[in-house]
Chain A
């Protein structure tokens, strides 16, 4: 592909017009959402493009750290919105996602596989954070439902002398599996059902497919590490809040 300009985007608007017309013709009442979505995507992506342009040019560690912090905060906020039932979900998600992202990134930098350059690191952080966010959200929701819906099971274990860890084990395992299901699905279907974004991008940018595939593999393994760490941290931090220090079941309530 040649250099892409706003003119190219304007041309691609033809597709938007098509989608608009089709939905209108078939009376699917989504024109409002569609217009809003198209506009929103435009504004957000162009803004991010400009911002990254600047950030890559400055290319300072403090700036990378700041960007990561903002991404984690926005991600944790989104996770806490999607986990309405659990009070204090923001800090829970934030801590867990930070652990998953930072540890994974630190290992990658330590191995020297990636350079500490904004252009390299920031897109990676984006992938790590969004995957960690989904994992944290799914884990929190599943564990919350599991524990609150199985009060009798949990208390039966406790009453038989088991500690909180044993009494919640089955439910923690189920929540962990729920949190990791999308990364497992990703690894199962990757390359067969769809080419993942990073790989597609590299191929479109003219890199040899094998190189793109190897790069994508590294990304996949990074995501696995970040997601697993996030899930485990989420569980560790969250499950304690359902029990008193005396192994009594006491789920957190709102307000």
Chain B
């Protein structure tokens, strides 16, 4: 399975929704090819459609037009459940199933043993001693990390992360960034990470996609897109975010 390298392409992906009688295109004709081993940061103003794009790639929503091609095949040829095990999605707000941390990590990977659970917890920067404690009292940041461990437990080859560090302190944030970079490189994963912090995109290096009003405005090396945008929207985004 690791022989062939994961590929992911989205072509002309659009989604239009109805809000109080009006049509609104929240993802507008987005095309892009992702290659494994690279981290892709998605930046853009609030409401730009960043989460909506991730939901489309995970097939939690249906696009009006366009395709997602995963490992060379139309994603519709996979069952949605199988597809989502390959293309994991971490929600902007983590949800914990009632029970223990270990039960959450095992939620979608019932057969992993205690050692593997401990390993996953350590990987996301949690102590493996916590495995048997209830999730009720976890902080937002801890929940986010349990959710990440739960996602990694299914061994996805693409991971979609929606602002995974927004409720973490700087140290934990750096920890997650390091982890994400390592798993992207070691296992040649495709990591697509939404962030509201352009500095984070710069730290992650890799590539950055700038979305504005559902459109993919700029893409390229993070350094270039963040520091030297070519488009008006890109410059406006830079002026607003970096000053």
Interface residues of chain A, those whose CB is within 8 Å of chain B, are 152-153, 155-163, 244, 246-249
Contact = CB atoms under 8 A, between A and B. Distances in A.
Nearest to A159: B89
Contact of B60 (A153, A155, A162): A155
B117 to A, nearest CB: 15
B82 interface: yes
Contacts of A162: 81, 108
A152 B89 contact: no
A161 B81 contact: yes
Nearest to B94: A156
B32 interface: no
A159 B97 contact: no
B59 A160 contact: no
Contact of A161 (B61, B62, B84, B91): B84
A249 B58 CA distance: 13
21 contacts: A152-B91, A152-B95, A153-B97, A155-B91, A156-B91, A156-B97, A158-B84, A159-B58, A160-B107, A160-B151, A160-B154, A161-B81, A161-B82, A161-B84, A162-B81, A162-B108, A247-B81, A248-B60, A248-B61, A248-B62, A248-B80
Contacts of B108: 160-162
Grouping DSSP codes into helix (H, G, I), strand (E, B) and loop, the B interface class, with mixed when no group exceeds half, is loop
B81 A249 contact: no
Instruction: Choose among B61, B150, B154 the residue with the greatest number of A CB atoms under 10 Å from its CB.
Output: B61
Given A152-B91, A153-B95, A159 B61 contact: no
A160 B61 contact: no
Nearest to A248: B60
A159 B162 CA distance: 13
A160 to B, nearest CB: 4
Nearest to A153: B95
B88 interface: yes
B71 interface: no
A157 B154 CA distance: 13
A247 B81 CA distance: 8
Contacts of A163: 81
Contacts of A156: 91, 95, 97
B93 A152 contact: yes
Nearest to B59: A246
B145 interface: no
B85 interface: yes
Contacts of B107: 157, 160
Contacts of A244: 62
A145 B38 CA distance: 42
B84 A159 contact: yes
Given A246-B59, A249-B60, A160 B84 contact: yes
Nearest to B84: A161
B56 to A, nearest CB: 11
Nearest to B92: A152
Given A156-B91, A159-B91, A161-B85, A247 B97 contact: no
Given A157-B107, A158-B80, A159-B89, 18 more contacts: A152-B93, A155-B91, A159-B58, A159-B60, A159-B88, A159-B91, A160-B108, A160-B150, A160-B151, A161-B82, A161-B84, A161-B85, A162-B81, A246-B62, A247-B80, A247-B81, A248-B59, A248-B60
Q: Which 10 residue pairs are nearest across A and B when measured between Cβ atoms?
A: A160-B108, A161-B85, A156-B95, A159-B89, A247-B80, A161-B84, A161-B81, A152-B95, A246-B80, A153-B95
Nearest to A154: B95
Contacts of A155: 60, 91
Given A153-B95, A246-B80, A158 B60 contact: yes
A106 B94 CA distance: 49
Interface string B44-88: 000000000000001111100000000000000000111011001
B154 to A, nearest CB: 6
